[in-house]
Amino acid sequence: MSDGGEYGRAHDPAGPGGPDPAYGRGPGGLTTRTRLPGSEIGGGRPPARPGRSLITVVAVVVLLIAAIAFVNRGGGDGDGKGDGSGEGRNGGAQAQPTAPTGQKPVKPGTDTPASGFAHTEQGAQSAAANYAVALVSADILKAAKRDDLVRQIFAPGKVSEMRRKMDEAYSAKFLGNLGLDKDGEPKEGTKYVSRTAPMGTKVRKYSGGSARLDVWCTGVFGNAGDKSTTPVTSDWFTLSIELKWAQGDWKVQSYKQKEGPAPVNGDNRASGADEIAAAVDEYGGFTYAR
């Protein structure tokens, strides 16, 4: 994984950019604004459905991660040493307070990513959280929507490169392995799901013109449908995102993804395909602000 940013998520919809624009999904594209906590709050995802083929799920995850790595190959260094606030256990970076900053909220979008992030460290955290959601969304896999997303998310000097890399990575063959057609649309009788929820952000390096952050995420992805060969499952992953201040906002310069940290699965009952598909339609996504 390197510079171009890995599309998709471990859950990726790991596409080149990851995967599931969760902005404003739900009835009427309604979005909800929430403050992004600085500390971690425990929580588990439901276990895989009984009878689901572990091999199939693992294969899809591997495909998504491979696509992201392909898009980002030859990229920048991902080791930035945090120069942010205090140290926690074992010398690690300490999570910031959960209280909101009180800064002006970001400008939410309906079918587009949020924008108007503050030119501060907190603004960079808000941008990274929202962009993480978009980079592993279902829309990033759709050629008809990908161009606009790339233009809105990436720094001006990276737009053409990322469009080319994502178009190449999200080939008809790759999409077919996810149960989608060449345009990134699900087959008849199925609904493709790819939604991400940031659990927290960590600032690894910050200056007025750039920032390097990690966004710890969980999410669900796969095809909901009785005949689906890639059923909806959950995952945990971390996106390392490098931001640049450009055109009066924070923009993505590069990104990469890795698995975990992941908790032990809870003993939750797996829902049926129809219930999962309905939940995606009925529950709107969030816009995140530090």
As a whole number, mean pLDDT of residues 125-144 equals 93
Residues 6 or more apart whose CB falls under 8 angstroms from that of 184 comprise 138, 141, 142, 143, 144, 146, 170, 175, 192
Residue 196's pLDDT is 93
Q: Answer yes or no: is pLDDT of 54 > 50.
A: no
Residue 212's pLDDT is 98
CA–CA dist 238, 256 (Å, integer): 8
Q: Categorize the per-residue pLDDT at 158 as very low, low, confident or very high, splitting at 50, 70 and 90.
A: very high
Q: If you compute the radius of gyration of the chain from its CA atoms, what whole number of angstroms results?
A: 18
As a whole number, mean pLDDT of residues 40-69 equals 48
For 89-115, write each residue's pLDDT tens digit: 455 545 554 445 556 666 665 567 889
Structure tokens at 226: 């009785």
The angle that helices 159-169 and 143-153 make with each other, rounded to 10 degrees, is 150
Mean pLDDT, the chain, whole residue set? 74
Residue 94's pLDDT is 52
For 197-222, write each residue's pLDDT tens digit: 999 999 999 998 999 999 999 999 99
Residue 161's pLDDT is 95
Q: Answer yes or no: is pLDDT of 245 > 70.
A: yes
Share of the chain above pLDDT 70, in %: 61
* 84 vs 157: which has the higher pLDDT: 157
Residue 278's pLDDT is 86
For 4-37, write each residue's pLDDT tens digit: 554 444 334 444 444 333 333 333 333 334 444 4
Q: What pTM does this model have?
A: 0.68
Q: Answer yes or no: is pLDDT of 270 > 50.
A: yes
Residues 6 or more apart whose CB falls under 8 angstroms from that of 90 comprise none
* 163 vs 187: which has the higher pLDDT: 163
